[in-house]
Amino acid sequence: MKKDDLILVTIEDLSNEGLGIGRSGGTAFFIKDTVIGDTVEAKIMKMKKTYGYARLVRLLSPSKDRVMPPCPVARQCGGCQLQAMSYEAQLRFKENKVKNALMRIGGFQNPPMEPILGMEHPFRHRNKAQYPVGRNKEGRITAGFYAGRTHDIIENRDCLLGPEINRKILDIVLFHMEMYDIEPYDEKSCSGLVRHIMIRQGFRTGQIMVCLVLNGTSLPASQNLIEALQKIPSMTSISISVNRENTNVILGRKIKLLWGSEYIEDRIEELVFRISPLSFYQVNPFQTEKLYGKALEYAGLTGQETVWDLYCGTGTISLFLARQAKQVFGVEIVPEAIRDARENAARNQITNASFYVGKAEEVLPQKYQEEGIRADVIVVDPPRKGCEPSVLATMVQIRPEKIVYVSCDPATLARDLKYLCGEGYELERVCPVDMFGMSGHVECVVLMSKVKE
């Protein structure tokens, strides 16, 4: 088989990126815009030694789980991979994705799976969006999202994953740019002014933040834009972020407030969090409550425990735990995140949570050896690459009764659990959580317990 050949394929699985996987002539092919159970005609686009990529040409027999995507640009846009799959089928896929990773990578023959926690409403759940700005083929200023694996902007002012107010905000900003001849940023020439439009909303408070990312330090006629945006109910913060670097990083480090507050606020249950343009905050607040609630359930706190929260970020999980623990200690290597964590603790009048800047594998042993601070429970929420080996070794050295692992990647989760089970722990409970509907990503909460000697 070679490039441009037409092949007949039945889709049997999905990749982590949501590409359909099927075989033709003994070769596995990855095919975008397909659903498990589809039979399709596809055109080979690229061949590797043991697999290939193909483009959907014709749907011959649709899967029983195939639905019509409600977004008109779902196929072109790189933001959603699973809109053509029913939400019930998405949940089954994600549950199986976690289970298969635990079995294949972790070596767990019968993982103690619990039903995935899905959403009541899988659309309009994202509280943050970052829209790149550019010009379309007709030369008109546009905003939207990048097509998969490219920086080609697919125009979309009303993403169905975000709140409806985003469209009105984008209309106002783009109209302002047209009115005052403000150029969008061009990546090839590194010229132009407006790079991105970031919008954040507190779903519980309704407060709205708009931050324009600029290849410069000021916006022409900014007062006129402020007056237009101010008319939107609950508009709370308008700012610019200066980013003159030739980089894929969206926000610059310098934020300049144009109007209103430097932050917005939102609530997770009764806890209040301040959110600045640079703050980390979970993008799906409704599912965050389920995720943190499950972590708290697994920790099984009675009020007598000392808990360490590794990779604590801005302290969101730490503050949840502090309500039922004797003492919580959070560790994070990013100083700005620890500053936010301390402010969040003070804001919520939580006095039994302390936060340290540094590497967990250094801070945890130091506090244990110098101050006798042990850990009854360790909660860990690492980035997608999983825990550093030194962090895993430190957890084993400290030997807490329980480890609660919050993961955003089933593969690295399975790898780390395999290590912990080889060092005196057993896997007790596993619960997937769907934080990102319409995408292939899945979060997971796991309970590990120390094997009784």
Residue positions in the annotated binding site for S-adenosyl-L-methionine? 282, 311, 332, 381
Angle in degrees, 0-180, between the axes of helices 360-371 and 389-398, rounded to the nearest 10: 20
Residue type, 208: I
| CA-based nearest residue to 135, from 187, 180, 83 | 187
Are 324 and 296 in contact, with CB atoms under 8 Å apart? yes
Three-state SS at 53: strand
Q: Residue 270, exposed/middle/buried by CB under 10 A (0-12, 13-18, 19+)?
A: exposed
Are 45 and 3 in contact, with CB atoms under 8 Å apart? yes
From residue 255, give the alpha-carbon distance in Å to each of 183, 226, 227, 243. Answer: 20, 16, 20, 9
Q: List the catalytic residues.
A: 408
Q: Residue 202, exposed/middle/buried by CB under 10 A (0-12, 13-18, 19+)?
A: buried
Is the alpha carbon torsion for 156, 158, 160, 162 positive or negative?
positive
Residues in the chain: 453
**Which residues fall in the annotated binding site?**
282, 311, 332, 381
Residue 284: what are its φ and ψ, rounded to 5°? Answer: -125, 90
